[in-house]
Amino acid sequence: MVKGNVVLGVTASIAIYKSLEVLSRLKKRGFNVRFALTEEAKRLISPVVFKALTNNEVYDDVMEELDLGDTNITHVSFANWADVFAIVPATANIISKVACGIADDPVSLVALATEAKKVIAPAMNSQMYLNPIIQDHLNKLKSLGWLVVEPEEGDLACNTKGIGHIASENHIADAIESCMYPDLLKGKNVVVTAGPTSESIDPVRYLTNRSSGKMGFALAKMARYMGADVTLITGKVCLDTPFGVNRIDVESTNDMLTALKKEIEKKDDLIVIMAAAIADFRPEKMESKKIKKEGNGKFTVNFVENPDVTVEIGRFAKSLGKKLRLVGFAAETHDLLENAKKKIEKKGLEFIVANDVKRDDIGFGSDFNEVIIIHRDGRMERIERSEKLKIAYEILRRLN
Ligand code: CTP
């Protein structure tokens, strides 16, 4: 299924290779891509490469009109075709041109003509990036609705380190994908918990829950796509932080509780989505030295119950007079609906998302899920098996 049309404008930075990495991410996510190249970009990578990898015409010469099957001239045709227009990488030169309305190459021509959502990923030397002229131009683009994917600190082509290294291909692809979703959560503060919490037994061993964190990360990513201010509090997982999401790493259940309380203290109005697989028990005592085998074939650890984090933060918010909307997950192996319904009441949830963790085609570790949303009034809505990002959208649009 094609998600949308993206025109990638490419300019002549050493980070030009990134445009091809972003293309690869966009293709995997179902986007159709066309390239527009400046003269100088063409000298770094041949247009043949961009054409072969997209199966689409490349706009690389302002004096030559492409036959695109419509009556428009090329830059207008590209401009109208795009759902999103993104400049990757963006040199200081193109930033300044676009901010001033100069249109004298394929990239700046499409930039000026298009009414599509716009994204720009700068890449340049630190002094150039921090130059007030470039910062002014970027601020102007932001004020005009451009989404700027800020560069990172890193190795620069001039053999120095500093700010100016182009953002990661995943972040740029996230920024582009985010343009396809409505701003339903604009102005809202969303905290998502994800992954497993883990409880140390000794310095080398710990007890944890089965969770890849993928559902929670998809929720954080989508909440940001939908315009929310997002904090992701996560246990140990091997996942990249989504673009624009503030990430806090924690280990134990009590660490997660502490991190959540801090977020509640900071904001007056918060939506908290508890997608984390929280360890219900912790060893009574964490040994400071590695426990040695006793040689009797047995190993015994006493466990105590951890707090119910959702119940605790509900109480905490109430004691501070803060508004808190809570959404829970119910991971069940049996009596799915009955167990999930009990949890809504006990934990003070607005609704609960129930999934059957026995199935191996969804849930743990999978990119897919199938869930039932159960509301306080007993209403139930089944979301058929789909990608976790789509499930996340379905959950979040119920919170606008
Ligand atoms: N949860 C929590 N604190 C805990 C355990 C779970 O806040 N100590 C949250 C989870 O993040 C989830 C919801 O409560 O959103 C339900 O979690 P689940 O593991 O299904 O249920 P439990 O409350 O642990 O109950 P049980 O183990 O008896 O099913």
State how many domains the chain has.
Answer: 2
For residues 185 and 145, give the distance between their C-alpha atoms in angstroms, rounded to a whole number.
Answer: 17
Banded model confidence at residue 235, pLDDT cuts 50, 70, 90: very high
Q: Write the residue with the smallest CA distance to atom 6 of ligand 1.
A: 278
Q: Three-state SS string across 245-314, please?
A: CEEEECCCHHHHHHHHHHHHHHCCEEEEEECCECCCEEECCCCCCCCCCCCCCCCCCCEEECCCHHHHHH
Quick one: average pLDDT of 123-134?
Answer: 96
Closest CA to 166 of 174, 179, 154: 154
184 domain residue, yes or no: no
For residues 380 and 396, give the distance between their C-alpha atoms in angstroms, rounded to a whole number.
Answer: 16
**Which CATH number covers residue 368?**
3.40.50.10300
| Better pLDDT: 212 or 362 | 212
Q: Looking at the structure, do residues 248 and 382 belong to the same domain, yes or no?
A: yes
340 domain residue, yes or no: yes
Q: Report percent pLDDT > 90 for the chain.
A: 85
Is residue 104 within 8 Å of residue 97, measured between CB atoms?
yes
Q: Write the residue with the smallest CA distance to atom 12 of ligand 1.
A: 329
Task: Identify the DSSP state of 351.
Answer: E
**pLDDT single digits (tens) 351-386:** 999 987 666 666 667 888 899 999 998 899 999 999
State the distance from the centre of ligand 1 to the C-alpha of 278, rounded, in angstroms: 6
Domain of residue 276: give its range. Answer: 189-397
Whether the pLDDT of residue 349 is over 90: the answer is: yes
What are residue 30's phi and psi, to 5 degrees? 90, 20
Q: What is the pTM of this model?
A: 0.92
94 domain residue, yes or no: yes
State the distance from the centre of ligand 1 to the C-alpha of 330, rounded, in angstroms: 7
Banded model confidence at residue 341, pLDDT cuts 50, 70, 90: confident
Q: Looking at the structure, do residues 302 and 202 belong to the same domain, yes or no?
A: yes
Q: Which residues line ligand 1 (CB under 6 A)?
A: 253, 274, 276, 278, 280, 306, 308-310, 328-331, 343, 347
Per DSSP, the three-state class of 234 is strand
Q: Looking at the structure, do residues 388 and 315 belong to the same domain, yes or no?
A: yes
Closest CA to 240 of 109, 337, 152, 121: 152
Quick one: average pLDDT of 53-74?
Answer: 91
**pLDDT single digits (tens) 154-178:** 888 888 888 999 999 999 999 999 9
Q: What is the pLDDT of residue 15?
A: 96
Q: Looking at the structure, do residues 100 and 22 belong to the same domain, yes or no?
A: yes
183 domain residue, yes or no: no
Q: Looking at the structure, do residues 201 and 287 belong to the same domain, yes or no?
A: yes
Q: Which of 250, 280, 306, 335 to mutate to test the pocket of ligand 1 (most atoms within 8 A of CB)?
A: 280
**pLDDT single digits (tens) 275-326:** 999 999 999 999 999 999 989 999 999 999 999 999 999 999 999 999 999 9
Q: Looking at the structure, do residues 135 and 39 belong to the same domain, yes or no?
A: yes
